[in-house]
């Protein structure tokens, strides 16, 4: 069972790893066969090598300017839900929900994001016709 303190420590480690050169720290945070889904509608990447490649494609590097705030919304057993807000140095921002599932060692085995940007439509075009 994960505690809020353990989830908080994991989030701090995640941000530190994102801001660090390389991807060596991923193995401390993610299980070997972990899945990482950047959107609920995208197929996940699976395994540390695939997650590392995804991180290298998605981030600018250790000098990327951004502020990240988070709030742990819920922790139930091995699952946590976290609300995240990111504001970049160039003025872009987004809000995100993370659904995290952990293994017995405290490494994330499933990472799923639900990202939202300003101006993004709430309903699909055409509505509920």
Where in the chain are the domains? 4-116
Write out the two tokens for 30: 């993610």
| Number of CB atoms found within 10 A of residue 14's CB | 22
pLDDT reported for residue 39: 93
pLDDT reported for residue 78: 96
Q: How far is the C-alpha of 97 from the C-alpha of 115, rounded, in Å?
A: 6
* 95 in Cβ contact with 89 (< 8 Å): no
The mean per-residue pLDDT over the stretch 83-95 comes to 91
Per-residue model confidence as pLDDT tens digits over 43-82: 999 999 999 999 999 988 778 899 999 999 999 999 999 9
4-116 folds as Nuclear Transport Factor 2; Chain: A, (3.10.450)
pLDDT reported for residue 128: 56
Q: Higher confidence at residue 97 or residue 123? A: 97
Residue 120 binned pLDDT confidence (cut-offs 50, 70, 90): confident
Per-residue model confidence as pLDDT tens digits over 1-38: 789 999 999 999 999 999 999 999 999 999 999 999 99
């Amino acid at each position: 069972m994960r505690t809020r303190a353990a989830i908080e420590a994991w989030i701090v480690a995640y941000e530190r790893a994102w801001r660090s050169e390389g991807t060596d720290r991923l193995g401390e945070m993610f299980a070997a066969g972990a899945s990482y889904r950047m959107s609920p509608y995208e197929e996940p990447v699976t395994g540390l090598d695939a997650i590392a490649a995804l991180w290298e494609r998605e981030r600018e590097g250790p000098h990327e300017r951004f502020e990240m705030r988070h709030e742990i919304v819920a922790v139930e057993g091995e699952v946590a839900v976290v609300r995240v807000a990111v504001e970049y140095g160039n003025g872009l921002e987004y809000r995100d929900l993370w659904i995290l599932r952990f293994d017995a060692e405290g490494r994330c085995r499933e990472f799923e994001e639900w990202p939202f940007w300003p101006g993004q439509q709430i309903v699909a075009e055409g509505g509920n016709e």
